Copies of this chain bind each other. A is one copy, B any other.
Amino acid sequence: MPKNPQPPAKPLDATDLALVRLLEQDGRMSNAMLAREVGIAESTCLVRVRSLRERGVVRGIHADIDPVAVGRPVEAMIAVRFGGHRRSHFEQFTEEVPRLPGVLGAFHVSGAIDYFVHVACESADALRDFVLDHLTNRPGVLHAETSLIFESLRGRGTLAPPEDDPEEEAADRA
């Protein structure tokens, strides 16, 4: 599994961006269809997609699961505030929080709040236990404020507009 946070950070060309956009929209699209869509040979497409994964541009491909369907109908966003702000506390939390049960995402942020934790639980009780056991009851944590999620929406991702390549813009002006 590539953990590269893109060390050289090579800029992607238009083809790479097109592949990224397609995979972001449908991560199970076949290599053959990807190749057809972006207009390159299948073998070339395979190499490019593999490179995108190795470079860490594509960090992974995951099914988006409805939490309700798998018995975790209670979703919440929990704002966590630390006291003291010792580096070790953040580091430990950063390491452990993704592995806590039901955690969908966690965000280390600037400002009054230190962490947002997005979680899906089996019940309101389970949510309370999660907060008490894993957040409030943790060295360094001052406060955890839980917001129940009424509705969770997926955005269109990092590449909403099809592409901003010069040719297309030229065509638009014509």
Contacts and interface: CB of A to CB of B under 8 A. Distances in A.
Interface size class of A (residues with CB under 8 A): 35 or more
Contact of A98 (B62, B108, B154): B154
A15 to B, nearest CB: 13
Contacts of A60: 26-27, 63-64, 154
Main secondary structure of the interface of A (DSSP, over half): mixed
A107 B154 CA distance: 9
Interface stretch (A38-46, A110-118, A136-144, A166-174): A110-118
Contacts of A132: none
Contact of A65 (B72, B151, B158): B158
Contacts of A28: 27-28, 61
A135 interface: no
Contact of A111 (B23, B110, B147, B156): B147
Interface centre among A24, A64, A72, A104, by most B CB within 10 Å? A64
B61 A12 contact: no
A131 interface: no
A57 B64 CA distance: 8
A118 B157 CA distance: 10
Interface of A: 5-6, 9, 12, 17, 20, 23-28, 55-70, 72, 75-77, 94, 97-111, 113, 116, 118-120, 145-161
20 contacts: A5-B68, A9-B69, A12-B69, A20-B70, A24-B63, A26-B61, A55-B69, A56-B66, A57-B70, A65-B159, A70-B158, A72-B158, A75-B107, A99-B155, A103-B160, A105-B154, A107-B118, A109-B148, A116-B116, A119-B155
